[in-house]
A and B are shown apart, each in its own frame.
Chain A
Amino acid sequence: MFGRLTKDAFIHDMAQNGAVAGMILGAIALIALISYLGRWKWLWREWITTVDPKRIGIMYIVVVLIMFAKGFADAVMMRMQQCVSVGDSFGFLTAEHFQEVFSAHGTTMIFFVAMGVVFGLMNLIVPLQIGARDVAYPFLNALGFWLFAAGGFLTLVSLAVGKFSIAGWLAYPPLSGLEYCPGEGIDYWIWSVQIAGVGSTLSGINFLVTILKMRCPGMTWMKMPIFIWSALCTNILVIFAFPILTATLALLTLDRYLGMHFFTAGGGGNPMMYINLIWAWGHPEVYIIMLPAFGIFSEVVPTFSEKRLFGYVSMVWALVIITVLSYIVWLHHFFTMGASPGVNTFFAITTMLIAIPTGVKLFNWLFTKFRGRVHFASPMLWFFAFVLNFSVAGMTGILLSAPPVDYQVHNSLFLIAHFHGMAIGGVLFGFFAGFTYWFPKFTGFHLDEKLNTYAFWCWFLGFLVAFMPLYMLGFMGATRRLDHYDVASWQSVFISAAVGVLIIFIGASIQLFGLFWSIKNRDKLRSGRDPWNGRTLEWSIPSPPPEYNFAIVPTVDQIDPLWATKRGQGPEQKKEYEDIHMPLNTPAGFFIGAISLIFGFAITWHIYWLAILAFVGIITCLIIRLSGKEVHGNITAEEVQRIEEAATT
């Protein structure tokens, strides 16, 4: 009846019980608050059934913040453990629990923070910057979000019921196979990632077609904002890389559920095939999370330098070359796993090559600032943090791209410091820049600049204090994922790293506090439609934008079209309001996401009757949704005029 689920699954150690209790209390508090404010109908109508990408983008960010809190807690636990777990002391986490923590940390941060940021920002910014009123497939877009949320939620459920995976964020076999990990942990991981991965693929198709087909009149290829170019390249990476992940996870699933022998140690299986395939996805994946961050900086730097982006064409070429090259470097993630020198050399060269277009982009941003009027608003501060932290990490990447060097430091803390520099210095700081930059557009008020600045200093310095010691530790011989070590001289270095994480924690807390503080003081922080003297179309409409974005679809004839308009250049715009058709809300996305969550849970615990029921439910919802007549809501031209005139900002 309950598959493999027993009462034991609910028993955890004290700390974990505390975390679960906190989660449940938080959920209860939220439910109580919504009930108290009488906002259930509003929540359902305005948010849960919405197909408006602006709303969906905000929901992505909300989920990202929740998942980030969990992933960050995992990081703090690991740092604390490694501070004390030396010699005769074994810290406060058992080895197994530590393995769950680092597996959850990586899975959460990549799949549910970074990917959420990517699609969240695309939802918010892509339609606005291309002068469109909507995305190509509003329902599919919503569905992509709810599948993402379902995957994320499944990992949170794994905290309360049973155990999560202990095999790292990529679950290499044979460890992740049936023989060595027969329990539910790997299955939780598989289904969370698989469900969210399907969501990503669908969203990728949506945004690709949106950018291809729905640009406003005059916005030809070389007039698009660079953020749109980076979104375009990101989505190309998504659609051709994620199917590999889907297939590979399916093969691991078949090994575990049907006793197949793809990656088993016996039966003719070949675990290296998993590693090969998963990184054929995995390398494009890291560019998927990185390119949007580059795109954000390409928007922020020109705006805060009051100068056009230097080298637009080379920026586009750099993005395209990075996209193509990212498909031919994947072996550098497993240089040490047995390939011959010839194979290693080929991939080493392609890896080194990919650094070149990345460097071009960096120099273009710096040249943009040269002789510009630079404003040190917080988005620009995040850019500076990025320049230093990401560049250092990038250079260590070039070191790692040489196989002989990689043989020394592969899977050491040197590697960990490298990719955290890329992920935090690049992706996260890019997100923070974008978040502070575009926050006024979607809310109508600023985030408090002083608090932003304090947060920046904490993150920037905290990152250096947390991760520079890890480079040292890597050279000193410390491998990754250590729950205990015997070299006493490492301890002080680990403690330094922990101090760094503490500084970051202060920064993150300031950001969280700053969010609520700014909401409370929003009347004093009102921003209007163009708070930063922007250059692109999103700054030409009210803050927050109306449902239809543009009352009159703009016509453009050059890069930075708003900047042109401000100078009296730019083509003649249409002047008359028209009736606007917008797609109607639908609960189908939410239902399919919720049922997918049930499916993921059921199949993880081998509760087959429930899994089959849920699967049938998903198919039924899809058939119902895709069988009706397509209808749209109508906003009359008079209504549009009224909304536009009421929006004083």
Chain B
Amino acid sequence: MEHEPTLSEIKKEYHGTLSAYITGFISSLVLTGISFSLVLTKVVEGKTLVYTLILLAIIQAFFQLLCFLHLGQEAKPRWESVIFWFMVLVLLIIVLGSLWIMSDLNDRVMNM
């Protein structure tokens, strides 16, 4: 490494903007508000409510990933995004796989 970039060159690599933070903030407020209201007012119930809450969480997570963590805005090759999606794949395998295995085992255990 002969020439390290200067401070101003590095600042160009940072992808945060005020509008992104405000968007993330508002969307998180709204989505959180909706989630809590749905549970408190019981507008929806049962399995529908569960899936809706999960969906709202995932949507808010994406807003925060985009607006706060700047996912997808890094320079090419977008390693952060590639590794993120691979992590999601592994996470789903482990979580869904474990839930499947453990509930299967549970089915075969005598009720006490």
Whether A and B touch directly in their complex, counting CB atoms under 8 A apart, is answered as: yes
Interface residues of A (CB under 8 A from B): 212-213, 236, 240, 244, 270, 272-273, 276-277, 280, 327-328, 330-331, 337-340, 342-343, 578-581, 632
A-B contact pairs, 26 of them (CB 8 A): A213-B79, A240-B86, A240-B90, A244-B94, A270-B102, A272-B105, A273-B102, A276-B102, A277-B98, A280-B94, A280-B97, A327-B93, A328-B93, A328-B97, A331-B101, A337-B105, A338-B109, A339-B108, A340-B107, A340-B108, A342-B104, A343-B100, A343-B104, A578-B2, A581-B1, A632-B1
Expressed in whole angstroms, the minimum distance between the Cβ of A345 and any Cβ of chain B is 12
> Do A236 and B94 touch (CB < 8 A)?
no
> From A236, which residue of chain B is reached at the shortest CB distance?
B86
Contact (A339, B93) CB under 8 Å given A212-B79, A276-B98: no
> Do A581 and B102 touch (CB < 8 A)?
no
Answer yes or no: B54 CB below 8 A from chain A CBs: no
Answer yes or no: B87 CB below 8 A from chain A CBs: yes
> From B82, which residue of chain A is reached at the shortest CB distance?
A212
> Do B98 and A280 touch (CB < 8 A)?
yes
Chain A residues with CB under 8 Å of B98's CB are 273, 276-277, 280
8 Å CB interface, B1-42 against A: 1-2
> From A583, which residue of chain B is reached at the shortest CB distance?
B1
- List the count of A-B residue pairs having beta carbons below 8 Å apart: 47
Question: How distant is the Cα of A244 from the Cα of B94 in the complex, in angstroms?
Answer: 9
Closest 10 CB pairs of A and B: A240-B90, A343-B104, A338-B105, A581-B1, A340-B104, A327-B93, A280-B94, A272-B105, A339-B104, A276-B98
Question: How distant is the Cα of A240 from the Cα of B88 in the complex, in angstroms?
Answer: 10
**Which of B86, B94, B108 is within 8 Å of A338, CB to CB?**
B108
Contact (A327, B108) CB under 8 Å given A273-B102, A339-B101, A579-B2: no
- Secondary structure at the B interface, as helix, strand, loop or mixed, is helix
Chain B residues with CB under 8 Å of A338's CB are 105, 108-109
Chain B residues with CB under 8 Å of A273's CB are 98, 102
Give 1 or 0 for each of B77-94: 1 = CB within 8 Å of chain A CB: 001000000110010011
Expressed in whole angstroms, the minimum distance between the Cβ of B110 and any Cβ of chain A is 11
Expressed in whole angstroms, the minimum distance between the Cβ of B2 and any Cβ of chain A is 6
Question: How distant is the Cα of A239 from the Cα of B111 in the complex, in angstroms?
Answer: 39
**Which of B2, B93, B102, B107 is within 8 Å of A272, CB to CB?**
B102
Expressed in whole angstroms, the minimum distance between the Cβ of A422 and any Cβ of chain B is 23
Contact (A343, B1) CB under 8 Å given A328-B93, A338-B108: no
Question: How distant is the Cα of A273 from the Cα of B104 in the complex, in angstroms?
Answer: 12
Chain B residues with CB under 8 Å of A328's CB are 93, 97
Question: How distant is the Cα of A563 from the Cα of B109 in the complex, in angstroms?
Answer: 62
Contact (A240, B87) CB under 8 Å given A277-B98, A327-B93, A343-B104: yes
Question: How distant is the Cα of A328 from the Cα of B107 in the complex, in angstroms?
Answer: 22
Chain B residues with CB under 8 Å of A330's CB are 97
Question: How distant is the Cα of A213 from the Cα of B80 in the complex, in angstroms?
Answer: 12
Known: A328-B97, A339-B104. 11 other contacts (CB 8 A): A240-B86, A244-B94, A273-B98, A276-B98, A280-B97, A327-B90, A327-B93, A338-B105, A338-B109, A340-B107, A632-B1
> From B91, which residue of chain A is reached at the shortest CB distance?
A240
Chain A residues with CB under 8 Å of B87's CB are 240
Question: How distant is the Cα of A579 from the Cα of B87 in the complex, in angstroms?
Answer: 39
Chain B residues with CB under 8 Å of A280's CB are 94, 97-98
> From B100, which residue of chain A is reached at the shortest CB distance?
A343
> From A212, which residue of chain B is reached at the shortest CB distance?
B79
Question: How distant is the Cα of A276 from the Cα of B104 in the complex, in angstroms?
Answer: 12
Question: How distant is the Cα of A402 from the Cα of B1 in the complex, in angstroms?
Answer: 53
Question: How distant is the Cα of A272 from the Cα of B79 in the complex, in angstroms?
Answer: 36
> From B1, which residue of chain A is reached at the shortest CB distance?
A581
Question: How distant is the Cα of A339 from the Cα of B107 in the complex, in angstroms?
Answer: 9
Expressed in whole angstroms, the minimum distance between the Cβ of A582 and any Cβ of chain B is 9
Question: How distant is the Cα of A272 from the Cα of B108 in the complex, in angstroms?
Answer: 13
**Which of A213, A236, A343, A578 is within 8 Å of B101, CB to CB?**
A343
Expressed in whole angstroms, the minimum distance between the Cβ of B98 and any Cβ of chain A is 6
Expressed in whole angstroms, the minimum distance between the Cβ of A626 and any Cβ of chain B is 17
Question: How distant is the Cα of A273 from the Cα of B87 in the complex, in angstroms?
Answer: 21
Most A CB within 10 A of own CB, among B93, B101, B105, B107:
B101
Expressed in whole angstroms, the minimum distance between the Cβ of A90 and any Cβ of chain B is 37
Most B CB within 10 A of own CB, among A240, A244, A578:
A240
Question: How distant is the Cα of A167 from the Cα of B79 in the complex, in angstroms?
Answer: 41
Expressed in whole angstroms, the minimum distance between the Cβ of B9 and any Cβ of chain A is 16
Chain A residues with CB under 8 Å of B100's CB are 343
Chain B residues with CB under 8 Å of A632's CB are 1
Chain B residues with CB under 8 Å of A327's CB are 90, 93-94
Expressed in whole angstroms, the minimum distance between the Cβ of B12 and any Cβ of chain A is 18
Expressed in whole angstroms, the minimum distance between the Cβ of A581 and any Cβ of chain B is 5
Chain A residues with CB under 8 Å of B101's CB are 276, 331, 339, 343
Chain B residues with CB under 8 Å of A236's CB are 86
Chain B residues with CB under 8 Å of A213's CB are 79
Most A CB within 10 A of own CB, among B90, B102, B104:
B90
Question: How distant is the Cα of A173 from the Cα of B2 in the complex, in angstroms?
Answer: 54
Expressed in whole angstroms, the minimum distance between the Cβ of A184 and any Cβ of chain B is 31
Chain A residues with CB under 8 Å of B93's CB are 327-328
Expressed in whole angstroms, the minimum distance between the Cβ of A44 and any Cβ of chain B is 26
Chain A residues with CB under 8 Å of B104's CB are 339-340, 342-343
Expressed in whole angstroms, the minimum distance between the Cβ of A408 and any Cβ of chain B is 20
Question: How distant is the Cα of A236 from the Cα of B79 in the complex, in angstroms?
Answer: 13
Chain A residues with CB under 8 Å of B107's CB are 340
> From A630, which residue of chain B is reached at the shortest CB distance?
B4
Expressed in whole angstroms, the minimum distance between the Cβ of B70 and any Cβ of chain A is 18
Question: How distant is the Cα of A330 from the Cα of B93 in the complex, in angstroms?
Answer: 11
Question: How distant is the Cα of A161 from the Cα of B102 in the complex, in angstroms?
Answer: 39
> From B101, which residue of chain A is reached at the shortest CB distance?
A276
Chain A residues with CB under 8 Å of B108's CB are 338-340
> From B90, which residue of chain A is reached at the shortest CB distance?
A240
> From B106, which residue of chain A is reached at the shortest CB distance?
A270
Expressed in whole angstroms, the minimum distance between the Cβ of A191 and any Cβ of chain B is 24
Question: How distant is the Cα of A235 from the Cα of B79 in the complex, in angstroms?
Answer: 14
> From A280, which residue of chain B is reached at the shortest CB distance?
B94
Chain A residues with CB under 8 Å of B90's CB are 240, 327
Question: How distant is the Cα of A88 from the Cα of B100 in the complex, in angstroms?
Answer: 47
Expressed in whole angstroms, the minimum distance between the Cβ of A30 and any Cβ of chain B is 37
Expressed in whole angstroms, the minimum distance between the Cβ of B92 and any Cβ of chain A is 10
Question: How distant is the Cα of A244 from the Cα of B2 in the complex, in angstroms?
Answer: 39
Question: How distant is the Cα of A280 from the Cα of B100 in the complex, in angstroms?
Answer: 13
